[in-house]
């Protein structure tokens, strides 16, 4: 009997640009591999860039939205 090997889709790193509220609240459970930086634009919002590993861009945006509040996508 042959063994079946399951190949998982390879994740690539997506660079996402976004606008976030200030102050920024972050929800992490410890399993995220997301790096981000945010620069304050004015007193109510900030411009950010995140590097998110995911299978596709939609999933990358969903991962980031679970971690922080995103007001607007810039890409």
Q: pLDDT digit string (tens) for 27-74?
A: 888 888 899 999 988 889 999 999 999 999 999 999 999 999 999 999
- Work out the pLDDT band at 1, boundaries 50, 70, 90: low
List of residues 6+ apart from 42 with CB closer than 8 A: 22
Counting Cβ atoms within 10 Å, is residue 64 exposed (0-12), middle (13-18) or buried (19+)?
buried
List of residues 6+ apart from 63 with CB closer than 8 A: 32, 34, 52, 54
Question: How many CB atoms are closer than 10 A to CB 40?
Answer: 14
In this prediction the pTM is 0.82
Question: How many CB atoms are closer than 10 A to CB 54?
Answer: 20
pLDDT of residue 14: 96
- pLDDT over 80 at 75, yes or no: no
């Amino acid at each position: 009997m042959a063994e079946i090997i399951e190949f998982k889709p390879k994740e690539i790193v997506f660079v996402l640009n976004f606008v976030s509220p200030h102050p920024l609240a972050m929800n992490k459970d410890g399993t995220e591999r997301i790096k981000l930086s945010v620069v304050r634009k004015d007193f109510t919002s900030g411009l950010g860039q995140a590097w998110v590993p995911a299978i596709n861009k939609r999933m990358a945006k969903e991962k980031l939205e679970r971690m922080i509040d995103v007001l607007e996508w810039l890409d």
